[in-house]
A and B are shown apart, each in its own frame.
Chain A
C-alpha cells in the first residue's frame, strides 16, 4: 500500500472513532431522562397537505376522546366495588409524581358542577326552546299560562316569579337533558337492558401514550379484577388501546429481536468459528446504531417504537458489508485487499441509500423517521467496515474456505437463465400482477388492538351515546354569526330527516348557541309573552302587579350569548371540540364541526348531497379519508422507488453495460415474484408489504452487484448467502408478529429474500470478474 494511502486510512479510522465517541456522548446526554419513545401508530400517517383545515378539525374532534377513559363496572355489590375501584385510582394518583390523572368522576355529585343554570341565567330571554317559540307564535303564549301557574304552586318546584315566571331556562335546558347517565345512590350509572353499570370517567393528566399512566392504570385494574372476580369491567379509551399496542410491540421487539440476534450469532459462529470475527461482524452494527440513534433523536425529538423495531432490523443490511469483507478475507488470506471490494461496497451503499431516502421524501412523519434512521445506520455501518475492519487482524479458520467451496459446488446450476427467458417470465408475472393483485388501504392495518378490547369500546360508546365524530360536517363562514346560521340550517334539515324516520344522531353547537338573528327573534317572542299572558298569570296567582313590572324590567339589556361565553361555562366546555373559531389567514374566516353518529349507510349519499347544496359545508368521513391518505402514501412510495430504481439502472448501466440486467434481476425478480405470489394467494398489497419489498430491493441489489463484481468467487457467493440468510432471520420472524403492520412487512421479506437467494446463481455471469479486469465485458 502506498504510504500516502496508509496515512489517509489511519487518519480516517481515528476520525471515525472521534465521530462515534461524540455520538456516544450525545446519546448519553439525550437519554438522561430515558428514551423519549412514541408508540402512536397514527403518527405514521401523513399530514394532509391539501386540506389543512380538515386536518385541524380531525385532530380537534379526536383529541377530546384521546385523554379520556371510561370504565363500566357491573357487580353484585355495585356500590362497594365502585368505591373500592375509585379509591384505588385516586390513591394511585395521589402517590404518583408527576400526577397522571387530571380528574375522575364517579359519584353522583361529581357532575353536579356542570349545572349550567347559573351561567346561562342572564341569557335566558334570548334562549327559547322550539316548543315555547311555537306556542308563542300560535296564540301569543296564552297556552303557557296554565303550566306556569301549576309550576308556581307545585310543591316540587322552586318558582322564580320575577326572574323567570314561565320557566324559560328550565325548558331550554330540558331539551338537552337526554344523557343516558343517571346519578343516584352515590353513583353515576348507565342502564343496559336490565343490567346496571357503575360509570367511572377519567381524564388523564398526560398523553394516553404516556407509559407511566398506561402501566398505573393497567395494574390498578388488574389488581381490582383479581380481588373482585365476580365483578366485570368494560373499558373504553385510547389509553387502553395504546397500552395494548405498546405491550405487544415491546413483547415482539424482545422475542423477534432476540430470536434474530441469537440466530445471527449461531450462523456466523458456524461459518467463521472465531469469536474475534464475530465481534468484528457485530462492530458495524454497533457503529451504525450509535451513529443513527442520536442524530435521529436530534432531528425528530422522539423515537417511534416502530422505527426502533423496523430500523434496527434494517441495519441488518449493514452486516452485508462486513460479511463481504470477512468472507473474502477468510478465503484469500494475506492476498486480501479492500480496494478490490470497494466498488461493490460503494455501489451497494449508494443503492440502499437511494431506496431508503426515497422514503424520507414521503409525507408520513413515522416513515420519514424510519428512513432517516435506516439510512444513517447504513452509512455508519459502512464507514465502520471500510475504515476499521481492514485494520483489525482476524484469524481465518480453514473451515470457512472449505464451506465456501462446498456451497459453490452444491448450488451452482448447470444452466443459466437467458435474457429472453427472463424477460418472458417477467412479462408473465407483470401480467399476472396487473390482472390479479388487489390492494388494501384500510385503517385496520394500523390498529393492533385485540378484538375483545374493540368490542368493549363499541359497547361502551353505544351505551354512552358518544359521538366520536368519525363523520362530520365541516362548516366555514366569514363570520361567527354566519357560521352559527349555517349550522342551524344544517341542523334543521337533519332534524327533519330524523322525524321522517332516518337513523342518525348529531351534535350541533347551534342548538346550544342560537345564531344572533334567532336570539333577537326569541327576545321579541318573549316580549310578546310578557304582555297579556304575564298579566293573566300574575292575576290568577294572586301576585301583586308590581312584581309583573319587575319581571318586565328584566327584559331590558339582555346580553347575546356568543360562542366564547358558552364554551367558557362548565356545561359548554364539552362542546369546545366543535368549534375551531377564527381560522382566517388574512381575511376573517370561521369554522365549526357538526359531528354525526349512528349514521345508516344508505344515508351517506344524502349527507354528501346536503353538503354540496350548502355553501361552506364539507362532509368528512375521517376513516375513509385516512385510508385514502394511506393509499396515496402507498402509491407515492411505489412511484418514488420506481424512479429511484430507474435512476439506479442508469448508474449501473454506466458500470456494467450489458450485464446490467444480471445485477437487476435478483432484486426486481424477487419483487415481482412476491407480488405474483400475493396475487395468486389473494392477499392484497398494503403499504407495509410494500415497505417489505423495499427491503428486498435493497438486499437484492447488494446481492446482484456483488455477484456481478466477483462472479467466479466462491467467497462472494458465501457472503451473499450469509447476507440473505441473516436478513431472512431478522425479517422472516416479523411475519409471525401479531401487529398487522409488522406481519405484512415480514411476509414480503420472507418470500422476497428467499427469491433473491434463489435467483442470484441463475444470472451470475460466466466469465471473469470486473474487479480483476477493470472493465466489464460480456464473454
Chain B
C-alpha cells in the first residue's frame, strides 16, 4: 500500500513539471484547422476608450487565418504567413508591418513556440487543463512597441492579450471553437 502511494507521490509533481511548451505545442498541433467566434476589445489608454468588435474566424495551420468582422462593421481579413517574417517594426501599420503581425498571429494561434522563441522569452504556467504563456520581447526595438503578450487556454487557445508599450491593449477572446466539418474549405 505504501509503495504505490510513494510512487504516486513521486509521479504527481513529475507530471505537473512535465507539461512543457513541447507538450502544449503537440496539443495545439493536433488541430490542423479550427473555426470559432471571437470578441476583440481594443483599449486605447490615452483616450480612455474601448473599440469592441465581434465576428468569427477560421484557421488553417501554416496557411491562413480568415478573420470575419460582423459588428460594428462587416469586413473580411485574411492573414497569410510572409516569408520575410519580421515583427520588429510590426505594430506600426504600414503594409509590411501588417504582414508581420499576420505571421505573429499565425504563430500565436498555432503555438509555434520555436518561431516565437527567437523573438520572445517564453514562460509557461498551469497545466494541460488551464495554461498560460507569457511572452516578453527579446529585442529592445520590439520592446519599444510591445511590452508583452499573454496567452491563456485549455484544449484550445482561449484568450490573447497584447500589451502595447504605450499602454494600449488588444484583448481577443475566442469561444465556440471546434474543428470545421471535414471537407469544408476554411474559407467561409
Binds B, one of A208-216, A326-334, A442-450, A538-546: A538-546
Contact A162 B47 (CB under 8 A): yes
Contact B84 A177 (CB under 8 A): no
Contact A158 B89 (CB under 8 A): no
Q: Is A80 an interface residue (CB 8 A)?
A: no
Contact B102 A159 (CB under 8 A): no
Most-contacted residue by chain A among B46, B92, B94, B164 (CB, 10 A): B94
Interface residue total, chain A, C-beta cutoff 8 A: 37
Provide the bound-state CA to CA distance between A542 and B25, in Å: 38
Most-contacted residue by chain A among B49, B73, B86, B93 (CB, 10 A): B93
Known: A108-B88, A162-B47. 6 other contacts (CB 8 A): A115-B89, A152-B51, A159-B93, A177-B94, A184-B83, A185-B86
**Which residues 5-35 of B have a CB within 8 angstroms of A?**
none
Known contacts A108-B88, A170-B93, A184-B86: A153-B53 contact under CB 8 Å: yes
Contact B47 A156 (CB under 8 A): no
Shortest Cβ gap from A720 to chain B (Å)? 73
Provide the bound-state CA to CA distance between A185 and B77, in Å: 25
Q: Is B69 an interface residue (CB 8 A)?
A: yes
- Write out the residue numbers on chain A whose beta carbons fall within 8 Å of the beta carbon of B176: none
Known contacts A156-B101, A184-B84: A151-B93 contact under CB 8 Å: yes
**Which residues 596-640 of A have a CB within 8 angstroms of B?**
none
Shortest Cβ gap from A554 to chain B (Å)? 13
Known contacts A108-B88, A109-B88, A161-B44: A541-B51 contact under CB 8 Å: yes
Shortest Cβ gap from A32 to chain B (Å)? 46
Shortest Cβ gap from B173 to chain A (Å)? 12
- Write out the residue numbers on chain B whose beta carbons fall within 8 Å of the beta carbon of A153: 40, 42, 51, 53, 69, 72-73, 75
- Write out the residue numbers on chain B whose beta carbons fall within 8 Å of the beta carbon of A112: 88-89, 141
Q: Is B117 an interface residue (CB 8 A)?
A: no
**Which residues 113-159 of A have a CB within 8 angstroms of B?**
113, 115, 117, 149-159
Contact B67 A155 (CB under 8 A): yes
Provide the bound-state CA to CA distance between A159 and B42, in Å: 9
Provide the bound-state CA to CA distance between A186 and B164, in Å: 22
Known contacts A155-B170, A155-B172, A177-B96: A161-B84 contact under CB 8 Å: no
Shortest Cβ gap from B47 to chain A (Å)? 6
Which of B51, B105, B139 interacts with A159 by CB under 8 Å? B51
Q: Is A2 an interface residue (CB 8 A)?
A: no
Contact A544 B86 (CB under 8 A): no
A-B residue pairs in contact (CB < 8 Å), sample of 12: A108-B86, A109-B141, A149-B75, A152-B51, A153-B42, A153-B73, A162-B47, A177-B95, A185-B86, A542-B72, A544-B49, A547-B49
Flag B87-119 by CB within 8 Å of A: 1 or 0 each: 011011111101001100100000000000010
Q: In chain B, what residue has the closest Cβ to A162?
A: B47
- Write out the residue numbers on chain A whose beta carbons fall within 8 Å of the beta carbon of B40: 153, 155
Q: Is B79 an interface residue (CB 8 A)?
A: yes
Contact A155 B105 (CB under 8 A): yes
- Write out the residue numbers on chain A whose beta carbons fall within 8 Å of the beta carbon of B42: 152-153, 159
- Write out the residue numbers on chain B whose beta carbons fall within 8 Å of the beta carbon of A547: 47, 49
Contact A150 B73 (CB under 8 A): yes
Shortest Cβ gap from B65 to chain A (Å)? 9
Q: Is B159 an interface residue (CB 8 A)?
A: no
Shortest Cβ gap from A72 to chain B (Å)? 16
Most-contacted residue by chain A among B88, B96, B102 (CB, 10 A): B88
Contact B84 A158 (CB under 8 A): no
**Which residues 164-192 of A have a CB within 8 angstroms of B?**
167, 170, 173-174, 177, 182-186, 189
- Write out the residue numbers on chain B whose beta carbons fall within 8 Å of the beta carbon of A550: 47
Contact A174 B88 (CB under 8 A): no
Shortest Cβ gap from B45 to chain A (Å)? 12
Known contacts A151-B93, A174-B95, A543-B51: A158-B164 contact under CB 8 Å: yes
Shortest Cβ gap from A305 to chain B (Å)? 44
Q: Is B168 an interface residue (CB 8 A)?
A: yes
Closest 5 CB pairs of A and B: A156-B101, A182-B84, A184-B86, A184-B84, A153-B53
Provide the bound-state CA to CA distance between A157 and B164, in Å: 11
Shortest Cβ gap from A161 to chain B (Å)? 7
Provide the bound-state CA to CA distance between A413 and B102, in Å: 93
> Which A residues form the contact surface with B (CB < 8 A)?
108-109, 112-113, 115, 117, 149-159, 161-162, 167, 170, 173-174, 177, 182-186, 189, 540-544, 547, 550
Q: Is B85 an interface residue (CB 8 A)?
A: yes
Q: In chain B, what residue has the closest Cβ to A153?
A: B53
- Write out the residue numbers on chain B whose beta carbons fall within 8 Å of the beta carbon of A108: 86, 88
Number of A-B contacts (CB under 8 A): 103
Q: In chain B, what residue has the closest Cβ to A186?
A: B118
**Which residues 148-177 of B have a CB within 8 angstroms of A?**
164, 168, 170, 172
Q: In chain B, what residue has the closest Cβ to A174?
A: B94
Shortest Cβ gap from B46 to chain A (Å)? 8
Known contacts A108-B86, A183-B88: A170-B94 contact under CB 8 Å: yes
Contact B84 A543 (CB under 8 A): no
- Write out the residue numbers on chain A whose beta carbons fall within 8 Å of the beta carbon of B47: 161-162, 547, 550
Q: In chain B, what residue has the closest Cβ to A151?
A: B93
Contact B49 A157 (CB under 8 A): no
Shortest Cβ gap from A131 to chain B (Å)? 13
- Write out the residue numbers on chain B whose beta carbons fall within 8 Å of the beta carbon of A543: 49, 51
Provide the bound-state CA to CA distance between A633 and B42, in Å: 71
Provide the bound-state CA to CA distance between A152 and B51, in Å: 8
Provide the bound-state CA to CA distance between A151 and B145, in Å: 18
Flag B70-84 by CB within 8 Å of A: 1 or 0 each: 001101010100011
Provide the bound-state CA to CA distance between A660 and B62, in Å: 93
**Which residues 37-69 of B have a CB within 8 angstroms of A?**
40, 42, 44, 46-47, 49, 51-53, 67, 69
- Write out the residue numbers on chain A whose beta carbons fall within 8 Å of the beta carbon of B72: 153, 540-542
Contact A117 B85 (CB under 8 A): no
- Write out the residue numbers on chain B whose beta carbons fall within 8 Å of the beta carbon of A182: 84, 86
Contact B79 A109 (CB under 8 A): no
Contact B86 A170 (CB under 8 A): no
Provide the bound-state CA to CA distance between A186 and B142, in Å: 13
Q: In chain B, what residue has the closest Cβ to A164?
A: B93
Q: In chain A, what residue has the closest Cβ to B38?
A: A155
Provide the bound-state CA to CA distance between A544 and B52, in Å: 13
- Write out the residue numbers on chain B whose beta carbons fall within 8 Å of the beta carbon of A189: 84
Contact A109 B139 (CB under 8 A): yes
Shortest Cβ gap from A62 to chain B (Å)? 31
Known contacts A153-B69, A155-B67, A541-B72: A170-B85 contact under CB 8 Å: no
Contact B139 A183 (CB under 8 A): no
Shortest Cβ gap from A19 to chain B (Å)? 65
Provide the bound-state CA to CA distance between A550 and B47, in Å: 10
Q: In chain B, what residue has the closest Cβ to A114?
A: B89
Provide the bound-state CA to CA distance between A543 and B52, in Å: 10
Most-contacted residue by chain B among A155, A541, A544 (CB, 10 A): A155
Provide the bound-state CA to CA distance between A407 and B75, in Å: 103
Which of B52, B105, B118 interacts with A156 by CB under 8 Å? B105
Provide the bound-state CA to CA distance between A125 and B61, in Å: 41
- Write out the residue numbers on chain A whose beta carbons fall within 8 Å of the beta carbon of B75: 149-150, 153-154
Known contacts A153-B73, A541-B72, A547-B47: A170-B92 contact under CB 8 Å: yes
Provide the bound-state CA to CA distance between A542 and B54, in Å: 14
Shortest Cβ gap from A79 to chain B (Å)? 10
Q: In chain A, what residue has the closest Cβ to B50?
A: A542
Shortest Cβ gap from B116 to chain A (Å)? 13
- Write out the residue numbers on chain A whose beta carbons fall within 8 Å of the beta carbon of B91: 158
Which of A150, A173, A184, A544 interacts with B85 by CB under 8 Å? A184
- Write out the residue numbers on chain B whose beta carbons fall within 8 Å of the beta carbon of A158: 91-93, 145, 164, 168
Provide the bound-state CA to CA distance between A544 and B60, in Å: 37
Provide the bound-state CA to CA distance between A149 and B77, in Å: 13
Provide the bound-state CA to CA distance between A631 and B44, in Å: 68
- Write out the residue numbers on chain B whose beta carbons fall within 8 Å of the beta carbon of A149: 73, 75
Contact B92 A115 (CB under 8 A): yes
Shortest Cβ gap from A519 to chain B (Å)? 21
- Write out the residue numbers on chain A whose beta carbons fall within 8 Å of the beta carbon of B88: 108-109, 112, 183
Shortest Cβ gap from B105 to chain A (Å)? 7
